[in-house]
Amino acid sequence: MTLTTHAIIGAAAAKIFSMNPLLAGIAAFASHFLIDAIPHWDYHPSSFTTDDADPLNDNMEIGKDFFFDLVFISLDALWGIFFSLLLFWPADPYQLSIIIGGAILGILPDPLQFVYWKTRIEPFTTIQKFHIWIHSGNKKLLDRPLIGMVLQVMLALSVVVPVIYFSA
């Protein structure tokens, strides 16, 4: 999934549980893994290297392509936060923190992969193993970016519309 999709669904999950900030945060973070279990399309940063024999050896190389990948990934995350605010514009500062926090926590497992790649220590190793496991059962749509993006928009709408409708 793109970070935009993770942010929007994370914000929606947090909004559902907004009366309990701890539960809102847990729901937003968990939403990342739940939607990663669905077959989806991901973009492949140039600085990302994979090891098909052992996915725990995947890495993101800090080199000539890393800066451009970092900018692209950051823009993806910022779009997600922007759309989360646009879709769930809060009426008060408390709700603002729930929406922004939910979007960030919905994205967080992916940046934690980078922390794992650079440290390879606990608890990041366990989180990475779970992240790999949750992806392992799905058929990725790597060679179908248009279909993958359309499906992500449909997934986000299927979550966002009921949350907006029932919270109005």
Could you read off the pLDDT of 13-67 as tens digits, one per residue?
999 999 999 999 999 999 999 999 988 888 889 999 999 899 999 999 999 999 9
Predicted TM-score (pTM) above 0.85: yes
- Beta carbons within 8 Å of 98's beta carbon, 6+ residues apart: 14, 15, 18, 21, 24, 90
Does residue 151 surpass a pLDDT of 90? no
Query: Do the Cβ atoms of 31 and 41 come closer than 8 Å?
Result: no
Mean pLDDT of 108-113: 98
Number of domains in the chain: 1
The residue range of the domain holding 100 is: 3-43+63-107+140-167
What is the spatial distance between Cα 15 and Cα 39, in angstroms, rounded to a whole number?
A: 25
Mean pLDDT of 150-160: 92
Q: Is residue 115 part of a domain?
A: no
- Name the residue with higher pLDDT: 46 or 149: 46
Q: What is the pLDDT of residue 149?
A: 86
Q: What is the pLDDT of residue 139?
A: 63
Query: Do the Cβ atoms of 77 and 43 come closer than 8 Å?
Result: no
The helix (H) or strand (E) run that includes residue 49 is: strand 48-49
Q: What is the pLDDT of residue 91?
A: 85
Q: Is residue 155 part of a domain?
A: yes
Q: What is the pLDDT of residue 140?
A: 67
Percent of the chain scoring above 90 in pLDDT: 78
Q: Which stretches within the chain are classed as H helix? A: 3-16, 21-36, 66-87, 93-107, 109-119, 124-136, 145-167
Q: Which of 28, 63, 31 is nearest to 48 (CA)?
A: 63
Mean pLDDT of 125-151: 82
